[in-house]
């Protein structure tokens, strides 16, 4: 069998996309999106990419579930090409339930190109030339011609500029040592790369002239004019014409091509520690600062966020573009903006003059050549510094300024790059009790920084299988803030990562530096945050503190409701001004919603904890109550809307506020505020069902229902509503223990109160519980009473729900025409109300009718319509049911790879939300799929598991069973023999529910 090591792939992206291994070349792919996926994975090697990010990148207009499905199909196609028979699966294309990436054995021409150029920066003469020649040779054409994704267009231009820059450096090198033929070769090679570059044409003309070929130089000048007029519809610039005229007339010495030999004028500090990450920010800054179009760029971000270190890295990398005319002026220690000119003059090493003001000296110096000036830590002087910066830019046209500050200057022409936290282990690195790969962790920027700084105090420190999970959780808690990571890593000499994680409950006491050469504002995490906090006016400090009550972000509306008391004037404009100021000072973050309709605001957890400390103890109870009451009102307002035509934006709003709902319910439990907690949780029941938070929702309801409660009618109604919601979620999750007692109490309360609406809803839940236990007669009794009440109330939604449930009973009893009639009636009502969640449910069930009638084309149509209808609304458990049914259709249609991919996605959702009923169905279907794939032992084991779950959870697999089950078990018994069959069946029957989850997850994580 071939191994991954013997099947090495080289991915080429210059001049087109090709994958090579030995004598094999792949240059055709299933779709262009499949090719673009491979290109993206290859262009960013040694990374694991979140599946959600890949979907957003490649299928931005697709709904979430549809996009994930397309990604799975693309991965199946790529895997068949990159991992043919004999190559271990998942050895080249590394994919799990959260992330996708290429194995580190894969090499790419773009990575080799950039590595060659990077290594040339620290070399001179012949050593640099060798690396530059390697880079120019690797550049075999534009990056991925024919592809027009945004990231490709940006990178294509960046790599083109790098290739032409390498050519020009080679021209300058060989011209300097009088090897004119080699210089001409690389001048011509540069023009092959970029035929419309005036600088490259001038290089060729100059070298021709310097080598005595003046006639050829004159001919090429005419050729340059022709090319530029043809391609750009304009002649060479006046400056280019003047330069060429001087060269040809020999009135000036032919200057070497840029970059010239470096002038050692830079005053950039030389960092003593390694730099990690920030590739995107560096590339963006390089592009802006070397474009000639941006002369003022400000790096903004939280204190301790790494702005200074990033500015030094950026300036160092583009120093060659400014002929090393780069200066660094530290301003953190200044208390008066009037000292800024003197500080800059000192950085420029200018001799003070009694007759000339420092600003004039600076302007004269910086006007001598294109220059880059870094002004570091300007936030405390922003208002007074802005006019000085504006004057410098006006009087020194060749000057470019890079600023670091916790807020921008607010000048015209200023561009801002917000410096985010380093990439850290979130999402794909959540461990859930499973092993975390040290190799995967070390791909993360935050982990690399943590390990490097830990090794500074404990050289033997490294990521191991034993400490990987603790390090992952630790760096997630540190949120990628470089200062925080460094302060924490310094404890490696006395604490293990697990001990650090425990100590982080007191993060402000733990995160203190012992180094003597660190600025006071960075001596501790608290000092770094205090530095920003004390600069706020008092009312904004109070507002900042009150915002700490939010979890997962907030809107302007919620900030006004909970934080408005901080101001005498509580108008929306005042709140907007306050939020804007906090954003400008990098104390909060602003995220535009996917719909683009509004911003949501949030704090990093580190800042939130600091802000919470600033709330006076005697105000904290009132703050949490205000927060909970606001969210209770929001949930109650949303409850009827979720059943109507505007359910999509309401479901999205509720999803965005889910962490806030959790925080409010947690406070209600701690403070024993039963009414607020139960009103809130009861109003959330249908949101939890629509989005698949079944287990979580019923757990909240169980805890809140256990609180001491009053017995007035209004409070009994609150309790009855919460009980009905809990029973509804329990039934849908397959939690049978205790559900009868819950529903009996709810029924008793509704009857005692005399609330027909609550009673009708409860009867619907009792009916679904009865028919899941195969007691269809009792189910019909409940539904008939509920239907009568619903019609009496004139509630079309309850009527439609009763019709849907009657259809389900008919389906289970294989009465397909009757089921279809009930479904059609309910669908008509739901369509009239534009209730897309329920429309999706009915379409799914109608698809099942078509499936059992063996009308597979119609079944596919209905199920796809169900998925597309509900995908943006439900997105989780409900759509996973439709995925399950699609997987079954793929199996019946003989498309086994698509069946497994679809079922894998369904089982991962079931595992994520704890949906035991769905899990039982998926395991059953995986068993049938294994049977048709002739994996009989696996089939028997899976079918045994699903049968055990069916009995434990009181489920019904009708009308598919017993026919399908008996058929496949008979096939397996014949293939395996009685002894092996019985062993496999017993192995499945012995598994607990938790083990069944693990077994299903193992199936889901098998390579697609």
List, for residues 272-320, the tens digit of each pLDDT value.
778 888 888 988 998 899 887 889 999 998 888 888 889 999 998 888 7
Q: For 602, phi and psi rounded to 5 degrees?
A: -155, 165
431: pLDDT confidence band, cut at 50, 70 and 90?
Answer: very low
* pLDDT value at residue 589: 83
Angle at which helices 572-584 and 556-563 pack, to 10 degrees? Answer: 100
Q: Name which of 35-44, 82-91, 719-728, 822-831 the model is least confident about.
A: 82-91
Model pLDDT for residues 933-956, shown as the tens digit of each residue: 898 998 999 999 888 888 777 777
Say what the alpha-carbon torsion angle 827, 832, 837, 843 is, to the nearest 10 degrees: 20
Work out the average pLDDT over 12-36. Answer: 87
- Give bridge partners of residue 591 from the DSSP assignment: 600
292 burial (CB, 10 Å; 0-12 / 13-18 / 19+) is exposed
Q: What is the mean pLDDT of the chain?
A: 83
Work out the average pLDDT over 456-484. Answer: 83
- Name the helix (H) or strand (E) containing 416: strand 414-418
Work out the average pLDDT over 382-403. Answer: 90
* pLDDT value at residue 668: 95
521: pLDDT confidence band, cut at 50, 70 and 90?
Answer: low
Work out the average pLDDT over 396-402. Answer: 90
Tell me the CA distances in angstroms from 567 to 540, 559, 620, 716, one per residue in order: 8, 12, 17, 39
Residues 6+ apart with CB under 8 A from 569: none
Work out the average pLDDT over 74-96. Answer: 82
876: pLDDT confidence band, cut at 50, 70 and 90?
Answer: low
Higher local confidence (pLDDT), 21 or 3:
21
* pLDDT value at residue 516: 45
Model pLDDT for residues 240-265, shown as the tens digit of each residue: 677 677 776 653 444 443 333 333 35
Residue 596 has pLDDT above 60, yes or no: no
CA end-to-end span of the chain, whole Å?
20
* pLDDT value at residue 712: 75
Q: Are 319 and 326 in contact (CB under 8 A)?
A: yes
Q: Are 477 and 608 in contact (CB under 8 A)?
A: no
359 burial (CB, 10 Å; 0-12 / 13-18 / 19+) is middle
254 burial (CB, 10 Å; 0-12 / 13-18 / 19+) is middle
Q: Are 835 and 802 in contact (CB under 8 A)?
A: no
Q: Are 34 and 86 in contact (CB under 8 A)?
A: no
742: pLDDT confidence band, cut at 50, 70 and 90?
Answer: very high
CA distance 608 to 587: 9
Q: Name which of 293-307, 546-560, 920-934, 990-1004 the model is least confident about.
A: 990-1004
648 burial (CB, 10 Å; 0-12 / 13-18 / 19+) is middle
CA distance 692 to 874: 7
Higher local confidence (pLDDT), 267 or 385:
385
* pLDDT value at residue 266: 63
Q: Which of 656, 663, 727 is nearest to 689 (CA)?
A: 727
* pLDDT value at residue 873: 58
Q: Are 322 and 292 in contact (CB under 8 A)?
A: no
* pLDDT value at residue 262: 32
CA distance 826 to 135: 66
- Give bridge partners of residue 665 from the DSSP assignment: none
Tell me the CA distances in angstroms from 767 to 729, 762, 786, 799, one per residue in order: 14, 9, 9, 14
Sheet arrangement for strand 371-376: 326-330, 371-376, 399-405, 296-300, 414-418
* pLDDT value at residue 595: 56
Higher local confidence (pLDDT), 827 or 649:
827
Q: Name which of 59-68, 516-525, 698-707, 889-898 the model is least confident about.
A: 516-525
Higher local confidence (pLDDT), 874 or 906:
906
24 burial (CB, 10 Å; 0-12 / 13-18 / 19+) is exposed
513: pLDDT confidence band, cut at 50, 70 and 90?
Answer: low
Residue 616 has pLDDT above 80, yes or no: yes
Beta-strand runs (E) in 533-685: 589-592, 599-602
Work out the average pLDDT over 822-828. Answer: 94
749: pLDDT confidence band, cut at 50, 70 and 90?
Answer: very high
CA distance 480 to 520: 21
- State the maximum Cα–Cα separation within the chain, in Å, rounded to a whole number: 108
Secondary structure, 3-state, 13-81 = CECCCEEEECCEEECCCCCHHHHHHHHHHHHCCCCCEEHHHHHHHHCCCCCHHHHHHHHHHHHHHHHHH
Q: Which of 182, 175, 201 is nearest to 190 (CA)?
A: 201
* pLDDT value at residue 261: 30
Which 8-state DSSP code applies to residue 257? P
Higher local confidence (pLDDT), 175 or 506:
175
CA distance 505 to 960: 53
Which 8-state DSSP code applies to residue 721? H
The contacts found for 954-958 with CB under 8 angstroms, 24 or more apart, are: 954/736, 954/772, 954/773, 955/734, 955/772, 955/917, 955/920, 956/771, 956/772, 956/773, 956/774, 956/812, 957/921, 957/924, 958/774, 958/812, 958/813, 958/814
Work out the average pLDDT over 499-508. Answer: 77
Work out the average pLDDT over 860-876. Answer: 75
């Amino acid at each position: 069998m071939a191994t991954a090591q013997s099947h090495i792939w080289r991915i080429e992206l210059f001049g087109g996309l090709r994958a090579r291994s030995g004598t094999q070349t792949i240059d055709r792919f299933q779709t262009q999106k499949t090719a673009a996926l491979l290109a993206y994975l290859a262009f960013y090697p040694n990374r694991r990419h979140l599946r959600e990010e890949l979907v957003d990148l490649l299928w931005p207009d697709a709904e979430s579930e549809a996009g994930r499905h397309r990604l799975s199909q693309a991965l199946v196609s790529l895997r068949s090409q990159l991992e043919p028979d004999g190559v271990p699966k998942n050895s080249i294309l590394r994919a799990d339930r959260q992330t996708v990436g290429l194995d580190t054995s894969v090499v790419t021409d773009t990575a080799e190109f950039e590595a060659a150029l990077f290594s040339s920066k620290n070399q001179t003469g012949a050593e640099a030339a060798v690396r530059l020649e390697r880079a120019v040779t690797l550049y075999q054409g534009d990056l991925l011609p024919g592809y027009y994704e945004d990231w490709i267009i940006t990178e294509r231009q960046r790599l083109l500029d790098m290739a032409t820059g390498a050519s020009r450096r080679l021209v300058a090198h060989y011209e300097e040592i009088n090897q004119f033929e080699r210089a001409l070769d690389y001048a011509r090679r540069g023009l092959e790369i970029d035929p419309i570059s005036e600088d490259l044409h001038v290089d060729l003309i100059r070298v021709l002239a310097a080598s005595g070929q003046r006639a050829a130089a004159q001919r090429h000048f005419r050729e340059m004019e022709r090319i530029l007029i043809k391609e750009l519809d304009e002649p060479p610039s006046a400056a280019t014409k003047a330069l060429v005229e001087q060269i040809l007339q020999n009135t000036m010495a032919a200057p070497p091509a840029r970059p010239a030999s470096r002038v050692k004028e830079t005053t950039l500090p030389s960092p003593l520690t390694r730099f990690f990450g920030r590739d995107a920010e560096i590339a963006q800054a390089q592009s802006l600062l070397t474009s000639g179009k941006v002369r003022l760029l400000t790096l903004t971000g939280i204190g301790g966020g790494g702005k200074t270190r990033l500015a030094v890295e950026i300036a160092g990398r583009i120093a060659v573009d400014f002929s090393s005319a780069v200066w660094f002026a530290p301003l953190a220690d200044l208390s008066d903006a009037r000292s800024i000119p003197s500080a800059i003059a000192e950085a420029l090493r200018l001799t003070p003059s009694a007759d000339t003001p420092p600003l004039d000296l600076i302007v004269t110096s910086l006007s001598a050549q294109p220059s880059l000036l870094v002004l570091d830590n300007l936030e405390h002087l922003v208002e007074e510094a802005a006019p000085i910066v504006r004057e410098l830019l006006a009087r020194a046209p060749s000057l470019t300024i890079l600023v670091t500050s916790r807020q921008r200057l607010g000048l015209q022409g200023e561009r801002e790059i917000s410096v985010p936290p380093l990439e850290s282990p979130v999402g794909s690195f959540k461990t859930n009790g499973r092993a975390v790969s040290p190799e995967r962790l070390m791909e993360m920027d935050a982990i690399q920084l943590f390990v490097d700084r830990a090794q500074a105090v404990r050289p033997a420190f490294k990521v191991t299988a034993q400490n990987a999970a603790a390090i992952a959780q630790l760096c997630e808690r540190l949120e990628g803030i470089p200062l925080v990571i460094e302060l924490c890593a310094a404890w490696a000499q006395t604490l293990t990562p697990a001990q650090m994680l425990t100590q982080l409950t007191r993060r402000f006491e733990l995160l203190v530096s012992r180094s003597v050469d660190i600025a006071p504002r960075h001596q501790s995490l608290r000092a770094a945050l205090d530095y920003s906090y004390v600069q706020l006016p008092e009312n904004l400090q109070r507002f900042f503190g009150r915002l700490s009550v939010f979890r997962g972000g907030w809107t302007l509306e919620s900030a006004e409701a909970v934080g408005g008391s901080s101001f005498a004037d509580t108008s929306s404009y005042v709140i907007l001004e306050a939020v804007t100021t906090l954003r400008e000072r990098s104390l909060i973050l602003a995220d535009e919603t996917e719909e683009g309709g509004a911003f949501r605001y949030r704090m990093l957890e580190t800042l939130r904890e600091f802000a919470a400390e600033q709330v006076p103890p005697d105000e904290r109870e009132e703050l949490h109550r205000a927060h909970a009451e606001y969210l209770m009102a929001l949930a109650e307002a949303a409850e009827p809307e979720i059943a109507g035509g505007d359910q999509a934006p309401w479901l999205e709003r509720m999803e965005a506020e889910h962490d806030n709902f959790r925080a409010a319910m947690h406070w209600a439990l701690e403070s024993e505020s039963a009414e607020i907690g139960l009103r809130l949780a009861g109003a959330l029941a249908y949101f939890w069902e629509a989005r698949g938070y079944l287990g979580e929702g019923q757990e909240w309801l169980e805890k809140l229902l256990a609180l001491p409660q009053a017995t007035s009618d209004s409070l009994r109604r609150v309790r009855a509503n919460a009980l009905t919601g809990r029973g509804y979620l329990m039934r849908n999750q397959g939690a049978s223990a205790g559900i009868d007692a819950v529903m009996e109490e709810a029924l008793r309360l509704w009857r005692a109160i005399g609330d027909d609406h609550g009673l009708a809803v409860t009867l619907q839940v009792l009916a679904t519980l009865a028919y899941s236990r195969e007691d269809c007669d009792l189910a019909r009794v409940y539904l008939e009473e509920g239907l009568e009440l619903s019609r009496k109330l004139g509630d079309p939604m309850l009527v439609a729900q009763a019709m849907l449930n009657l259809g389900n009973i008919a389906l289970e009893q294989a009465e397909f025409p009757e089921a279809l009639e009930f479904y059609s009636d309910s669908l008509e009502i739901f369509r009239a109300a534009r209730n897309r969640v329920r429309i999706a449910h009915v379409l799914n069930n109608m698809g099942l009718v078509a499936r059992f009638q063996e009308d597979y084309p119609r079944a596919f149509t209905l199920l796809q319509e169900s998925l597309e209808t509900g995908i943006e609304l439900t997105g989780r458990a409900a759509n996973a049911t439709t995925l399950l049914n699609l997987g079954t259709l793929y199996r019946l249609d003989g498309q086994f790879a698509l069946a497994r991919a679809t079922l894998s996605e369904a089982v991962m959702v079931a595992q994520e939300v704890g949906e035991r009923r769905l899990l039982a169905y998926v395991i059953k279907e995986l068993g049938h799929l294994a049977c048709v794939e002739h994996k009989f032992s696996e089939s028997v084991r899976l079918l045994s598991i699903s049968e055990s779950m069916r009995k434990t959870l009181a489920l019904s697999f009708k009308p598919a069973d017993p026919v399908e089950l008996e058929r496949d078990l008979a096939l397996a018994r014949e293939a395996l023999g009685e002894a092996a069959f019985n062993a496999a069946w017993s192995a499945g029957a012995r598994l607990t529910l938790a083990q069944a989850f693990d077994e299903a997850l193992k199936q889901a994580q098998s390579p697609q």
